[in-house]
Amino acid sequence: MSVIKKITAGFIQPLVCAFLVVSLVFGFASNAFAQSIPLVSLKTGDTITLRSDTGKYLSRINRGNVNPAEAAKDTIDPYSKFKVTVFDGNKVALQADTGKYLSRINYTSNNRNPIEAAKDAVDPFSQFNVKVLNGGKIALQSDTGKFLSRINYGGTGGQNPIEAAKNEIDPYSQFQIDILP
């Protein structure tokens, strides 16, 4: 190893470590601290679950001709497991039990952007930027730049669809991620 490489490695490695320590101390709870860092342990083919702020698992819900993602299940079942495809730039696609990919669907009539298991193949609307947060949580950012969020329609016991709706990360757009064996 050349002297320049040794000096560079000796300088860069402590700098990166210091950044990670500062990041962990201050957390990633706000957009200012949210980082797009590689998901070293998440790889293509992994099966994951995502839990919302309510503790409910995100799940594909069959509503006839649509299959929205909702924070709806108290326990893990086949509908709350998603197969991961990892792309460059810290993007992922999530495949539901039906084989369809979760995607942002733009309903211009009501100005909503729900996430539905709707695509046979990955496209720009079904790729999400992953922001790693503290406490084993992530935030997912859609192609519009909006973060996926649990939206409460109907109060307690009502529907809690996931929509690309938030400009900033808030408690409703943070999801606990678990990689299943």
Given this model, what pLDDT does residue 5 score? 38
pLDDT band at residue 6 under the 50/70/90 scheme? very low
pTM of this structure:
0.78
Q: Decide if 45 contacts 94 (C-beta within 8 A).
A: no
CA distances from 42 to 8, 63, 99, 166, 179 (A): 29, 30, 19, 25, 8
Q: How far apart are CA 103 and CA 157, in angstroms?
A: 25
The 10s digit of each residue's pLDDT in 112-130 is: 999 999 999 999 999 999 9
CA 43 to centroid of chain Cα atoms: 14
What digits encode the pLDDT tens for the residues 136-174? 999 999 999 999 999 998 766 678 999 999 999 999 999
